[in-house]
Structure 1
Amino acid sequence: MPLNSETGKYIIAAGLVIVLAGLIIYFFGGRLNWIGRLPGDIRVERENFNFYFPLTTLLLINLIIFLLIRIWRWIN
């Protein structure tokens, strides 16, 4: 992929998303402790074994990202 102004826009957008996520976690981290503990998240805890797979959380994040991409494409 050649480096041009379009590539720069994508890199800036990715950076802004990362900064926004960091700010949300920094300021609202205490209120977001339900993320990863949704019904449907798989958790197995044994004496010497812990397994955790946040299935519902992953589906929710996937849906949000999908909707944001669709809105982004609709705007452009």
Structure 2
Amino acid sequence: MIAGAVTIVVGLFMIASGKTGITGWFNWFGSLPLDMKIEKENFRLHFPLGSSILISILLSLIVYFFNKFIR
């Protein structure tokens, strides 16, 4: 439930910034060093490895501190 609430808040924040999708203040997201983009004539691949690692680290820290202060 907490993850859902956080997702909704982040989505509302992005919409409130006047942009839809990951643009505006978050234009750096998706273009980190390990994010791969392959574009050809009839093919487009976007593999956000660096962004996924960043999200994983941030969520791990949030869960760690949440568990540390709740127990």
TM-score (norm 1): 0.73
Question: Moved runs in structure 1, 4+ residues, more than 6 A?
Answer: none
Question: Which residue of the partner structure matches residue 8 of structure 1?
Answer: none
Question: Which residue of the partner structure matches residue 33 of structure 2?
Answer: 39
Q: Structure 1 25/63 Cα, relative in aligned 2: closer, same or farther at 3 Å? A: same
Task: Could you tell me which runs of 5 or more consecutive residues in structure 1 were left unpaired when the two chains were aligned.
Answer: 1-10
Higher share in helix? 1
TM-score (norm 2): 0.78
Task: Could you tell me which runs of 5 or more consecutive residues in structure 2 were left unpaired when the two chains were aligned.
Answer: 18-22
Higher Rg: 1
Write the deviation string for residues 34-63 of structure 1: whole angstroms up to 9, x where unpaired.
101111101111111111100000000000
Counting only pairs closer than 5 Å after superposition, residues 1-76 of structure 1 correspond to structure 2 as: 11=1, 13-28=2-17, 29-76=23-70
Question: Which residue of the partner structure matches residue 20 of structure 2?
Answer: none
Shift, 1:24, TM fit: 2.5
Kindly report the root-mean-square deviation, in angstroms, between the aligned alpha carbons of the 2 structures: 1.5
In the alignment of these two chains, the number of paired residues is: 65
Identity of aligned pairs, percent?
34
